[in-house]
Amino acid sequence: MNNIIEILNKYYGYKSFRKGQEEIINNIINGNDVLAIMPTGGGKSICYQVPAIAMDGLTIVISPLISLMKDQVDSLNSLGIDSAYINSSLSNIEIQEVYFRLNTGDIKILYVAPERLEGVEFLNIIKSLKVSQIAVDEAHCVSQWGHDFRSSYKRIYNFIEALPKRPVVTAFTATATKEVREDILESLKLRDAKIFISGFDRENLKITIERGISKNIYILDYIEENKGESGLIYCSTRKEVDKLCDLLKANGINALSYHAGLSDMERKKNQEDFIYDKVDVMIATNAFGMGIDKPNIRYVIHYNMPKNIEGYYQEIGRAGRDGEKSECILLFSPGDVQTQKYIIETGTTNPFRKRNELEKLQSMIDLVYSNGCYKKYILNYFGEEREEDCNNCSNCLFDGELIDKTIDAQKVISCVYRMKRPFGIGVIVEVLRGSKNKKLIEQGLDKLTTYGIVKDYTKDELKDFINTLISHGYINYGGEFPVVTPNKNSLKVVKGEEKVYFKEARKVKKITTDNDLFGLLRGLRMYLAGEEGIPPYMVFGDNTLKEMSTRMPLTKGQLLDISGVGEKKVEKYGEKFIEKIKEYVDEKNIQVDFKFENDIKLPKGTEKKKRRTTEKEKSYEISIRMLREGKSLKEVSEERGSTIGTISTHIQTFLGEGKNIDFNISFEGLFTDEEEKEILEAGEKVGFSKLTPIKEIVNKNISYDKIKLVILKRSLE
């Protein structure tokens, strides 16, 4: 099978490639070495897997990530692509079994750890085989300037040179500055490599940075608001992981932890429970997540600031890998800077690497303090010039009020001045709140004029307020034993020359809202995955279920028109999902609009079927009557408790009976002018008879319902 679109559709269930993938794949198949820098979740694996299927011979994927190997191999085998992995998690007997399968030609894609390449037995076996491609994943690991350097990656070239015939060599990474890219080309000695730098922007990810707030309260509120969603919370230390995990459990939240202090067995079990959707929240150090291919993580929260932008962007990239809306939240406090400096100072002996890491830390600090678009800052950091704002980060989207906190700030800063010598935040809080602490009184701090002048804050609230003053640069905080000191901005505030305004706290919001059918399909997915002992996303991803829940396919042909549904998946799961959708359609008395690319006819026996109704009027007639009365589509949808898609179907049913719309229909608030223009332009290119071709070329955030509505509006004009 040489047609790469056929391969994509047959095995993966997609009808078109993402931006940049097709050109990369064609270059590999044509024998060109490739270096591809693509964001986490941007579809790197398909770029070397599709050529592996298309080309004659074995593809070896080099990866440092044991969890990724198992994940990828399980997924590939479930799609009918013969794959295996070799790493330290296998016994000698299991490794010999893989060697046997290699010799008999039963493996198309083999994942290996870089250390395995140095084994004599492994090299001798591979020398006897036809190797079509060597794909180096996480290629930034070859670079001393990369954020995750591994010495074993430096020796990959020796393995390539030892092969009797050099295969195509490809390298993939999510985060690479110019210096790192040059290191990859040099270390792997890529020949006339084609370099592809996909846009680093993940448009479905919203970036939020919160400063000077109560982290624990925020997290509890956020998880409560987003119950049932899968989330990942990163902490800097094991101690913080355990404390936060205990807090969540004490508040009835089913959370698990992951860090190096746990046993291998416990880490493995916790990781699998998270991947298999048995638990919603994972709290972990950055040891977790490398290579985890779980596509439905809806939010990633950083409890502490990471030490560099590369690591931060890679970690938030674990959210929304299925393309659905997801949120990335960084909860910052000034102590995070001291923690990261300590980790760098104590964990890095090489003076050049230490200087490099401290410079990277400063870039991360600058991001946190930035008043501009966060995404623009990050993209510019990676060398992708971006002029326009993203309109999808907390700086771009801030619409709350600025609250005048000048008087409270003057009280705090005056206290810092009057204490004569530097103290930590805790002592300042005690003085301002009028604590009777014996040590404080012995030092005469109760005699200060600022003693007890701030009593309308709780202890935690006052700590947060002082941290916010620090993060906004009104006072300094630092030193070997961190203390608070005044700066030039402090004096301006005390003298009244500068006002202090803080943003009001943002109320946490739900990330997504889903219909009832999506919940039913997710329950069915969970059941089927449990029967097979596989992660639920290996049955179908969230984005696929969401499309099913809005388009409601009722035949296998229609199901094949859903993105992410391939032939093997239809054969395996099709009947069960169609049955569940049919039950829902009948129960809710929904008339489905059967406009699918692969199956335009109604399923046999349904053309004349009368839908049950408890009303004298047919369901679509009620919607038409309400629209005729002057109500907008949105109002009808809300009053009837139906989706917009259902109401638009009612209109099409009405028109299908040969009746005319002799009244105005308001589409207000259902799509923007820009979205309408983009959909119409796409329709002019590929036609308006089918939804899927339009969906595949418009912005990912434009839903099928919006496309349907724009086409409906066009037909009525």
pLDDT digits (tens, 9 = 90+) for 672-690: 888 889 989 888 887 877 6
What would the mean pLDDT of 20-33 be, rounded to a whole number?
93
Burial class (CB within 10 angstroms; exposed 0-12, middle 13-18, buried 19+) of 315: buried
pLDDT-derived band at 280 (thresholds 50, 70, 90) equals very high
User: How distant is the alpha carbon of residue 255 from its chain centre?
Assistant: 19
Residue position matching structure tokens 């493996």: 107
Distance of CA 559 to the CA centre of its chain: 26
**What does the block give as tokens for 588?**
């809710």
Of residues 3 and 490, the one with the higher pLDDT is 490
Higher pLDDT, 77 or 717: 77
> What local confidence, expressed as pLDDT, does residue 526 receive?
86
Ordered structural domains, the chain, with CATH:
4-197 (3.40.50.300), 205-392 (3.40.50.300), 402-503 (1.10.10.10), 516-716 (1.10.150.80)
**Is 360 within 8 Å of 239 (Cβ atoms)?**
no
Q: Give the pLDDT score at 641.
A: 62
The two three-digit tokens of residue 362, written as one number = 């400063």
What mean pLDDT do residues 261-281 have? 89
In angstroms, the CA 416 to CA 695 distance is 59
pLDDT score of 512? 61
**Residue pLDDT, tens place only, 443-483:** 999 999 999 999 888 887 888 788 778 867 899 887 656 78
Is residue 25 helix, strand or coil? helix
- Among 196-205, 214-223, 560-569, 687-696, top mean pLDDT goes to 214-223
CB 329 within 8 A of CB 206: no
The structure tokens listed for 349 are 């002996």
Report the run of H or E that residue 109 belongs to, with start and end: strand 109-112
pLDDT band at 380 (very low <50, low <70, confident <90, very high): confident
pLDDT for the residue numbered 174: 77
pLDDT 10s digits, 663-673: 888 888 888 88
User: Does residue 285 carry a pLDDT above 80?
Assistant: yes
Please answer whether residues 465 and 212 qualify as being in contact, where contact means their C-beta atoms are separated by less than 8 angstroms. Answer: yes
* Residue 393: DSSP 8-state: B
Helix or strand (DSSP H, E) at 475: strand 475-478
List, for residues 597-632, the tens digit of each pLDDT value: 544 333 333 333 333 333 345 667 788 888 888 888
Of 59-63, 560-564, 600-604, the range with the highest mean pLDDT is: 59-63
Query: Residue 135's closest CA among 182, 179, 93, 72?
Result: 72
- Cα 356 to the center of its chain, rounded Å: 28
**Taking 70 as the threshold, does the pLDDT of residue 144 lie above it?**
no
The number of residues making up the chain comes to 717
Structural contact between residues 561 and 534, judged by C-beta atoms closer than 8 angstroms: no
Q: Whole-number mean pLDDT of the chain? A: 83
Average pLDDT value for residue range 692-712: 80
What distance lies between CA 195 and its chain's CA centroid? Answer: 25
The DSSP secondary-structure symbol of 220 reads H
228 or 110, higher pLDDT: 110
Beta bridge partners of 301: 233, 329
pLDDT at 58 over 70: yes
> Which residue is associated with the tokens 């807090």?
247
List pLDDT tens digits, range 125-142. Answer: 999 999 999 999 888 888
Distance CA 654, CA 299 (A): 42
399 confidence band (pLDDT: 50, 70, 90) = low
d(CA 106, CA 97): 11
| Side chain identity at residue 694, one-letter code | I
How do 194-197 and 34-37 pair as beta strands? Answer: parallel
Cross-strand pairs, 485: 476
The lowest-confidence range among 311-325, 456-470, 629-643 is 629-643
Give the model's confidence band at 354: pLDDT under 50 very low, under 70 low, under 90 confident, else very high.
confident
Residue 415 corresponds to which amino acid?
Answer: C
